[in-house]
């Protein structure tokens, strides 16, 4: 028995279970099982807490620190030019927040704060502040954020009620107490302040449901409940600007916020979460079978992110797994899980099979655009059959 992190309702059994190891968002493995619980009262899905979670984010979690300009591809333009995540997030933030002139803005859980830095380049009038639970990103803040406007581990008491705008990108899914997290942001925000929050949408990217350090998998219903409980009035939920994610805007309320119960929407959220759990159960069986089918064959995995890393863990004992293929030029030439990462155009002619490690909702369209993967005699393995 566990309790929902959003509405505190009891959840009797897990909807998905897999034995250790579990895969993190940093594409590293930790020695814990994966369990997903789905709340029937608010539609929230959640995984078990990580052991020693504070140490994990202080000393282990290293987002985009591989190089000064490391970034993740959000999309690829029709001419093949990569569009990077922080550029896109900055544009969304400027559009959705409508920041007042001279406003103080906080990036909470900032990491390198590249998104905020790019927002400030477009709006040099705003006053940037950054906070993170690690000091590892401080070098990235220096030179454009005043030292007194930087904080690590603990937010200064003097920041209470300071901010007209707060952004927090892809942080809330990591925290063990999401309602407490939102209440902390409410305390830091000035009356009428606006919050821009982003998080994965597992319904659009089912891989998120089994990421070990993503403790929360919000539905629209559980997100609205968490915001209301924390004193925020939801303004916007945008699931189109960044496919695979929710971008929400909420305002600090000085009055209690009530949520109109919608049992149909909750039931839909519960059904979707459980369907994703079923997908992962079937994908595991399918991939284990493919590993035996292609035992000893020369193989590559397309995609060096979460899906590709998970595939690696399931097939490397059986197939002759040689390389990762990835379209991100900033990853090409690197080494991931002891294998080189190459551009798809560098696919060896002697390879027998390619396992596709991409979001299954988008994988076939992406592979259709890669001529090198459409040659006769090359077997393709999809995790969704």
Q: Nearest to residue 171, comparing CAs of 147, 195, 190? A: 195
Answer yes or no: are the C-beta atoms of 128 and 140 closer than 8 Å. no
Where in the sequence of the chain do the CATH 3.40.50.150 domains occur?
73-257
Q: What distance in Å separates the CA atoms of residue 66 and residue 59, rounded to the nearest whole number?
A: 15
The CATH class given to the 73-257 domain equals: alpha beta
Is residue 22 exposed (0-12), middle (13-18) or buried (19+ Cβ within 10 Å)? buried
Residues 6+ apart with CB under 8 A from 353: 294, 297, 298, 299, 300, 319, 378, 379, 380, 381
Q: What distance in Å separates the CA atoms of residue 105 and residue 114, rounded to the nearest whole number?
A: 14
Where in the sequence of the chain do the CATH 3.40.50.720 domains occur?
294-382
Q: What is the mean pLDDT of residues 148-158?
A: 97
Model confidence, pTM: 0.89
Model confidence over 332-374: pLDDT tens digits? 999 999 999 999 998 888 899 999 999 999 999 999 989 889 8
Q: What per-residue confidence (pLDDT) applies to 54? A: 59
Decide yes or no: CATH 3.30.450.40 for domain 294-382.
no
Of 83 and 281, the structure prediction assigns the larger pLDDT to: 281
> pLDDT tier at 385 (50, 70, 90 boundaries)?
confident
Q: What distance in Å separates the CA atoms of residue 165 and residue 171, rounded to the nearest whole number?
A: 16
Q: What percent of the chain has pLDDT over 70?
A: 93
């Amino acid at each position: 028995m566990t309790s929902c992190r959003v509405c505190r309702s009891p959840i009797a059994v897990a909807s998905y279970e897999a034995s250790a190891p579990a895969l993190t968002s940093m594409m590293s493995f930790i020695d814990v099982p994966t369990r997903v619980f789905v709340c029937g009262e608010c539609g929230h899905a959640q995984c078990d807490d990580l052991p020693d979670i504070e140490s994990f984010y202080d000393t282990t979690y290293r987002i985009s620190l591989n190089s000064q300009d490391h970034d993740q591809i959000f999309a690829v333009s029709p001419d093949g030019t990569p569009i990077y995540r922080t550029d896109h997030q900055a544009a969304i933030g400027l559009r959705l927040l409508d920041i007042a002139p001279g406003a103080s803005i906080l990036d909470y859980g900032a990491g390198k704060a590249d998104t905020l830095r790019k927002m400030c380049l477009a709006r040099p009038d705003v006053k940037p502040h950054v906070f993170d639970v690690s000091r590892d990103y401080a070098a990235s803040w220096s030179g454009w954020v005043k030292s007194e406007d930087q904080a690590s581990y603990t937010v200064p008491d003097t920041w209470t009620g300071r901010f007209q705008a707060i952004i927090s990108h892809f942080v809330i899914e990591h925290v063990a107490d999401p309602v407490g997290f939102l209440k902390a942001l409410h305390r830091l925000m000035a009356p009428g302040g606006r919050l821009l929050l982003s998080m994965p949408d597992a319904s659009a990217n089912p891989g998120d449901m089994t990421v070990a350090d993503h403790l929360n998998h919000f539905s629209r219903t559980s997100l609205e409940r968490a915001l209301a409980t924390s004193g925020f009035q939801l303004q916007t939920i945008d699931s189109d600007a960044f496919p695979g994610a929710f971008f929400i805007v909420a305002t600090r309320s000085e009055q209690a916020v009530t949520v109109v119960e919608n049992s149909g929407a909750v039931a839909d959220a519960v059904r979707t979460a459980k369907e994703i759990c079923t997908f992962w159960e079937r994908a595991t069986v399918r991939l284990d079978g493919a590993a035996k089918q292609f035992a000893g064959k020369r193989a590559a995995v397309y995609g060096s992110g979460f899906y590709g890393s998970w595939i690696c863990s399931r097939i490397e004992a059986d197939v002759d797994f040689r390389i990762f293929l990835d379209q991100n030029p900033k990853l090409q030439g690197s080494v991931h899980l002891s294998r080189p990462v190459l551009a798809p155009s560098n696919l060896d002619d002697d390879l027998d099979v390619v396992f596709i490690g991409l979001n299954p909702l988008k994988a076939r369209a992406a592979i259709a655009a890669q001529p090198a993967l459409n040659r006769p005699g090359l077997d393709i393995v999809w995790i969704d059959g």
